[in-house]
Amino acid sequence: MTISTEITQRAATLRELINRYNYLYYVADNPEVPDAEYDRLFRELQQLERDNPQLLTADSPTQRVGGEALDKFAEVEHAIPMLSLDNVFDATELTAFDKRVREWLNTDSAQTYAAEPKLDGLAISIRYENGVMVQAATRGDGSRGEDVTVNVRTIKSVPLTLQGENIPAVVEVRGEIFMPKAGFEKLNQSQLANNKKVFVNPRNAAAGSLRQLDSKITAQRPLEIYCYGLGYLEGMERPPSHSTAMQQLQQWGCRISPELKTVTGLDACEDYIQQLGERRDSLPYDIDGVVFKVDDTALQERLGFVSRAPRWAIAYKFPAQEEMTVVEDIEVQVGRTGALTPVARLKPVFVGGVTVSNATLHNEDEIRRKDVRIGDTVIVRRAGDVIPEVVKVIASKRPDTVREFVMPVQCPVCGSDVEREEGEAVSRCSGGLFCGAQRKEAIIHFASRKAMDIDGLGDKLVEQLVDGELIHDPSDLFLLTAEQLASLDRMGQKSAENLVNALQAAKQTRLTRFLFALGIREVGEATARSLAMHYPDLDELMQASAEQLVEIEDVGPIVANHIETFFHQPHNREVIQRLRDVGVNWPLEEQASADSVLSGKTIVLTGTLQTMSRSEAKEKLLALGAKVAGSVSKKTDFVVAGSDAGSKLSKAESLGVSVVGEDTLTAWLTQD
Ligand code: 9MJ
């Protein structure tokens, strides 16, 4: 049968594109398209070749793993090829994989799989001879990789000698080298400060760091490893399953994922996907899916592999966190402190599980650094609840019609001059509370949950109130009547009355909340709390000089200046007076908390509490002067463990940090 020229042409185009993207990704460490786009092209080519086997060529990218070895490193031949994984993208495809496995093995019984996170890093093979590390190589094309031994030796989680019993004459340990998110952020900050290349994502930073000719640079990079397999093995029996192999690796001192589990049957696979998916954003490293491997070694051997991937394993890919789209416009938003944030209006794109049509561009310098122009095709990233951002322009897709963004010299909302101070990245509207945008944002912040906590006062309502000139500053809120409120859009009599009641209730507050609610620049919850503890009398705080304020813990010279400036502005003093006149008040409780047993202690909450939510507990602990941290370290004083406490509890135990139960927490909170 002859194949239409159209199909032949398409296959050739796909090969060319994929080869180019492969080169950029694997060889040049400079990806041009998001992984999701690459995956789509790859799958399209795979499908074309499956439907038309005559099209398959030996040099098709579907026939090899990854890119070619760079010539700057010596070449290493893998004793056993390094395979890659086939992907599935939903439950149906996973079911089909499981069915294929069972058909191949000619069995109806539920299969046991080893499940582990799919790390987004670089695959590595580390060879140990008589327990001593002799070589480390990247995957390269699967048969030959690059010799990165000296670089891998600098990674502290890679053992240089294996420990314990049962050390074979030769073993290749396979795993993934990656850079944790926090290390990536820190590295980029330092790259930026030193005018060096900023990395697009942790995977690229890991690749760029491992493939350094100067291993001293690699040594300074926060690289880590998780081991997930055995390659060549000599002088010992191959362990009977993947999970026992992992235990063996762990006993030799190799790092394996704490998330590794065995699961039996498809439902258990789906539960694992669901649970890991929920934790994806809070894991300290990027993962792009889950890997399932038939656990039993004998069954793995029966299944074997096809061209580039084992039949006994599959990667279930999570929704991509990076996608490609077009910047249709760049507009500026005016924030609470007058900061002008350029925002890219995007052609809507599905990324990180939602449709995104806006992405922050941070500030003018960022736009210049990334050279983003209106009309450009860009990569947007949305990871977790973080605001989506433009990470990179795809230079080869730039049309001739692109336009450069110019920061306005006048505020787009109030027309006041826009200022940018020396050494500051941010441009600001100088209009202060004269600017409607700043007024709205200030009032929204004032009413927010951690500030005055006014129930039922949403952003849209504030907008209507400010635009309709019913309120000019936060104190006007407390003078609103149910009649005035009921006349607004989408407000009934009942919700108007509820809001008036909520406003009445909110008048009784705490000094910490009140100070936070004022929206003083760089005064967050923690600083507001320190201020309230040192100055339980607001009038004294309002008189304090910057020199006096820097004496307070958490208050540096810049914040001290912001606070002094804020309280010296006649307008701000008037608003505070009006708030007190309408009845906003607080008890002198914070004074007592300085003496609390918990004062200054660092506490971590984990697991489920029965009598209150974790955020309630946090708030109460903070009010007693404790610090509440998100992760356990040597500096943690106590871990409060509710039911089903997980890794934080084990970490506390391993570090010897005191662990208490909910009853102790309740006792602390009810102390006089
Ligand atoms: C990653 N990337 O985390 C494998 N992988 O197994 C895990 N990759 C793999 N396993 C065989 N966890 C080939 C690749």
- DSSP of 76-113: EE-SSPPP---EE-SHHHHHHHHHHHHHHHT--SPPEE
Domain with CATH 3.40.50.10190 in the chain: 602-669
The whole-number average pLDDT for the span 334-352 is 93
pLDDT greater at residue 69 or residue 547: 547
Residue 640 · residue 605 · CB < 8 Å = yes
Atom of ligand 1 nearest to the CA of 82: 13
Query: Which DSSP symbol is given to 27?
Result: I
By alpha-carbon position, which residue is closest to atom 1 of ligand 1?
118
Domain with CATH 2.40.50.140 in the chain: 324-397
Q: Which residue has the tokens 């952003």?
A: 459
Atom of ligand 1 nearest to the CA of 293: 6
- Work out the pLDDT band at 671, boundaries 50, 70, 90: low
Report the alpha-carbon distance of residue 445 to residue 435 in Å, rounded. Answer: 15
Structure tokens at 336: 């609470």
Which pLDDT belongs to residue 22? 67
CA of residue 228 to ligand 1 center, whole Å: 6
Residue 218 · residue 151 · CB < 8 Å = yes
Mutation pick for ligand 1 pocket among 225, 228, 283 (CB with most ligand atoms within 8 Å): 228
Q: What pLDDT, in 10s, does the model give residues 486-541?
A: 988 888 899 999 999 999 999 999 999 999 999 998 899 889 988 998 899 999 99
CA of residue 422 to ligand 1 center, whole Å: 49
Residue 109 neighbours by CB distance under 10 Å: 9
Residue 118 annotated among the catalytic residues of the structure: yes
pLDDT at 592 over 50: no
CA of residue 184 to ligand 1 center, whole Å: 21
Q: What pLDDT, in 10s, does the model give residues 201-237?
A: 999 999 999 988 888 888 889 999 999 999 999 999 9
Which pLDDT belongs to residue 622? 81
Residue 297 · residue 238 · CB < 8 Å = yes
Which pLDDT belongs to residue 127? 95
Domain with CATH 3.30.470.30 in the chain: 75-317
Which pLDDT belongs to residue 68? 40
Domain with CATH 1.10.150.20 in the chain: 432-581
Report the alpha-carbon distance of residue 126 to residue 231 in Å, rounded. Answer: 9
The whole-number average pLDDT for the span 316-329 is 94
CA of residue 283 to ligand 1 center, whole Å: 18
Greatest mean pLDDT among 382-391, 394-403, 422-431 = 394-403
* CATH top-level class of 75-317: alpha beta
Strand partners, 323: 380
Mutation pick for ligand 1 pocket among 78, 80, 84, 85 (CB with most ligand atoms within 8 Å): 85
Q: What pLDDT, in 10s, does the model give residues 429-444?
A: 988 778 989 999 999 9
The whole-number average pLDDT for the span 104-113 is 95
Report the alpha-carbon distance of residue 290 to residue 274 in Å, rounded. Answer: 10
CA of residue 291 to ligand 1 center, whole Å: 7
Which pLDDT belongs to residue 344? 97
The whole-number average pLDDT for the span 106-112 is 95
Fold topology of 5-63: Helix Hairpins (1.10.287)
pLDDT at 665 over 50: yes
Q: Which run of H or E residues covers position 144? A: strand 144-146
Report the alpha-carbon distance of residue 554 to residue 150 in Å, rounded. Answer: 42
The whole-number average pLDDT for the span 406-432 is 90
Fold topology of 324-397: OB fold (Dihydrolipoamide Acetyltransferase, E2P) (2.40.50)
Which pLDDT belongs to residue 664? 86
pLDDT at 596 over 70: no
Fold topology of 432-581: DNA polymerase; domain 1 (1.10.150)
pLDDT at 74 over 80: yes
Which pLDDT belongs to residue 594? 47
Q: What pLDDT, in 10s, does the model give residues 180-200?
A: 999 999 999 999 899 898 998
Long-range contact set of residues 474-477: C-beta below 8 Å, sequence gap at least 24: 474/442, 474/443, 474/446, 474/447, 474/517, 474/575, 474/579, 475/575, 475/578, 475/579, 475/581, 475/582, 475/584, 477/443, 477/446, 477/447, 477/503
Which pLDDT belongs to residue 433? 75
Catalytic residue among 72, 118, 507, 620: 118
Q: What pLDDT, in 10s, does the model give residues 7-52?
A: 999 999 998 888 778 667 653 556 778 888 988 999 999 899 989 9
Domain with CATH 1.10.287.610 in the chain: 5-63
The whole-number average pLDDT for the span 324-330 is 97
Query: Which amino acids bring their CB within 6 angstroms of ligand 1?
Result: 83, 85, 116, 118-119, 176, 228-229, 291, 313
Which pLDDT belongs to residue 59? 58
Amino acid at 560: A
Which pLDDT belongs to residue 29? 56
List the one residue out of 177, 180, 222, 176 whose CA is nearest residue 201. 180
Fold topology of 602-669: Rossmann fold (3.40.50)
Atom of ligand 1 nearest to the CA of 257: 12
Q: Order across the sheet with 658-660: list the strands.
A: 627-629, 602-606, 638-641, 658-660
pLDDT at 67 over 50: no
Report the alpha-carbon distance of residue 530 to residue 401 in Å, rounded. Answer: 53
Residue 105 · residue 303 · CB < 8 Å = yes
Q: Considering the chain, what is the average pLDDT of its residues?
A: 89
- Work out the pLDDT band at 167, boundaries 50, 70, 90: very high
Which pLDDT belongs to residue 58? 54
Which pLDDT belongs to residue 26? 52
Mutation pick for ligand 1 pocket among 176, 305, 306 (CB with most ligand atoms within 8 Å): 176
pLDDT at 470 over 50: yes
Tell me what percent of the residues of the chain surpass a pLDDT of 70.
95
The count of residues in the chain is 672
The whole-number average pLDDT for the span 324-337 is 94
CA of residue 300 to ligand 1 center, whole Å: 15
Amino acid at 3: I
Which pLDDT belongs to residue 70? 46
Which pLDDT belongs to residue 618? 87
Residue 384 · residue 335 · CB < 8 Å = no
Which pLDDT belongs to residue 87? 94
